[in-house]
A and B are shown apart, each in its own frame.
Chain A
Amino acid sequence: MRHSLERIGAVLQRYVYLMRSSWPRLVELAFWPTLEMIMWGFTSVYLVQHVNNFAYGVSLFIAGALLWDLLIRSQLGVSVGFLEELWSRNLGHLFISPLRPHEWMAALIISSIMRATISVLPAMLLAIVFYHYNIFTLGLPLIGFIICLMWMGWWFGFLVISVIMRFGQGAEVLAWMIVYAIAPMSAVFYPISTLPAWLQVIAFILPSSHIFEGMRAIIIHGTFDAAQMWWAVGLNVIYMIIGVIVLWFSIQNARNRGALLVVGE
């Protein structure tokens, strides 16, 4: 019995060491319950305020969910593309090849488009079958929404890669969770006005919140708010530049630390 407890203790010790050595793993423990509480809280507030006038509820929620997933898949497309190299210990081969950083980034973006299309398009079609909701009725602006959300996923992915390059494989949980951290401020299922004033400031500097506001304008009022689209494009340009620069510096930093041949936990 005593030996058995010792062995259980040894395995537990391994997990404790792992968590202590990786702050993203610790953050992740508290992240999901907190996120869900915030998201569902604001969604409930919005529903209570509009419970008697909610003819567009299905459209708002399904369109929101589909477009939100597009952002997630786009970001994961970039981050997981990088993680695949890390998991197979192949990163060194890439960086000693003539592949230049901008070519690598372009390949990650194209891979992200492929992954996002494969994952979200079937859901968009199934929404027609199950709920008679056709997201393509959003018309031409939908193309703009899709491009802007995928674009956001790309620079977000670059930032995630930069963090993993800096902190090692222990930070890979960030790839799965970090984009959800902006979900409450992205106003996916409720308008920005539902948020407290200080969160509205954060929402304003996120391209995603402008996209979802634009989506609601079409669904509820039947109008395309070009200003929201331009805000999303402008912010994406700024963040993309920052994302590329940060990733470039991360590669240089990894070269300085000698981490490109051996990136691990």
Chain B
Amino acid sequence: MDAIEIRNFSKRYRAVTAVEDLSFSIPQGQLVGLLGPNGAGKTTTMGALLGVLLPTSGTVRVLGVDMVHDRFRALPFMNFSSPYVELPYRLTVAQNLQIYGGLYNIPNLRARIDEIAHELRFTHLLNRKAGKLSAGQKTRVALAKAMLNKPKVLLLDEPTASLDPDSADQMRTFIANYRAQTGATILLASHNMAEVEQLCDHVLMMKGGRLVDQGTPMELVARYGEENLEKVFLSIAREDQGEDQDAA
């Protein structure tokens, strides 16, 4: 059974089509990059995988569970981190993590919080209010929240946004180690192509709500005859712009 399975998923908002006939599956234990320019449909896809966005058509399954009708069977085993969804800023980091630990029924919560704070190197921030954290610290705490329940399926939206190169590297190492130790399936949306190249087994390239290409980072680089994934990304993102200019 694939950990993530999307079949013919489309999402339309009146006249706007956010995602059109998207199909892909991710085997358990894979770390997959979801790439695409702004408006490509990445957030819509993640929303559907989390069950907080209903498809116009198609099916979305996580760990074999239909996320439209039965999402509460899968949600205890999933988690999500995004710099665009924040934690209550008047609570301390520890209080925030206690609340989320409670929502996920995590046993020995205090010990788990200490463990994750140690692993992500923010023990000294536990008693600081979330609203007082720097952008990079918030990103680390958000990742800790996403790791609290040791998810089997982890969705990460820009996990290293706002981090300095050293912190970002630590974070990437942490994500890679977590996958290696637990066999978790990770879907990672990022605009940092070097990060995707370093971490991901497989890459899904979206554009205009459609899946335009996929493969391992090396396969994509070879297929497009480019130096690296960033050049591949630019080539795909600017494809229509080139056509538009030709037509003009």
Contact = CB atoms under 8 A, between A and B. Distances in A.
Interface stretch (B84-92, B175-183, B205-213, B235-243): B84-92
Contacts of B78: 96
Contacts of A90: 85-88
A258 B16 CA distance: 13
Contacts, number: 71
Which of the listed residues A94, A252, A255, A261 has the most CB atoms from chain B within 10 Å of its own CB?
A261
A95 B52 CA distance: 7
A260 interface: yes
Given A93-B100, A97-B100, A98-B104, A255 B52 contact: yes
Contacts of B50: 96, 261
A260 B53 contact: yes
A94 B96 CA distance: 12
B72 A100 contact: yes
A98 B105 contact: yes
A89 B103 contact: no
A95 B53 CA distance: 11
A166 to B, nearest CB: 15
Most chain B CB neighbours (cut-off 10 Å) among A90, A97, A100, A255: A97
Nearest to B91: A88
Contact of A88 (B43, B47, B51, B87): B87
Contacts of A94: 103
Interface of B: 11, 13, 18, 43-44, 47, 50-54, 72, 75-76, 78-80, 82, 84-90, 100, 103-105, 145
Which 3 pairs show the lowest CB-CB distances between chains A and B? A92-B85, A97-B103, A260-B52
A90 B103 CA distance: 13
Nearest to A100: B72
B88 A261 contact: no
A93 B75 contact: no
Contacts of A261: 43, 47, 50, 52-53, 82, 84-85
Given A258-B44, A261-B52, A97 B85 contact: no
Most buried by B among A89, A95, A96, A99: A96
Given A258-B13, A261-B43, A96 B52 contact: yes
Contacts of B100: 93, 97
Contacts of A257: 13
A97 B52 contact: no
Interface residues of A, number: 22
Nearest to A88: B88
A28 interface: no
A89 B11 contact: no
Given A93-B87, A96-B50, A98-B103, 13 more contacts: A85-B88, A88-B86, A88-B87, A89-B85, A90-B86, A92-B80, A95-B52, A100-B72, A256-B53, A260-B47, A261-B52, A261-B84, A261-B85
Contacts of B145: 93
B2 to A, nearest CB: 20
B53 A255 contact: yes
Nearest to B50: A96
B38 to A, nearest CB: 14
A258 B11 contact: yes
Nearest to A254: B52
Nearest to A260: B52
Given A88-B89, A90-B87, A258-B13, A96 B105 contact: no
A262 interface: yes
A85 B13 CA distance: 25
26 contacts: A84-B88, A88-B86, A88-B87, A90-B86, A90-B87, A90-B88, A93-B80, A93-B145, A94-B103, A96-B75, A96-B78, A96-B79, A96-B80, A97-B100, A99-B103, A252-B54, A255-B53, A256-B53, A257-B13, A258-B44, A258-B47, A258-B52, A260-B52, A261-B43, A261-B50, A261-B52
Nearest to B11: A258
Contacts of B82: 92, 261
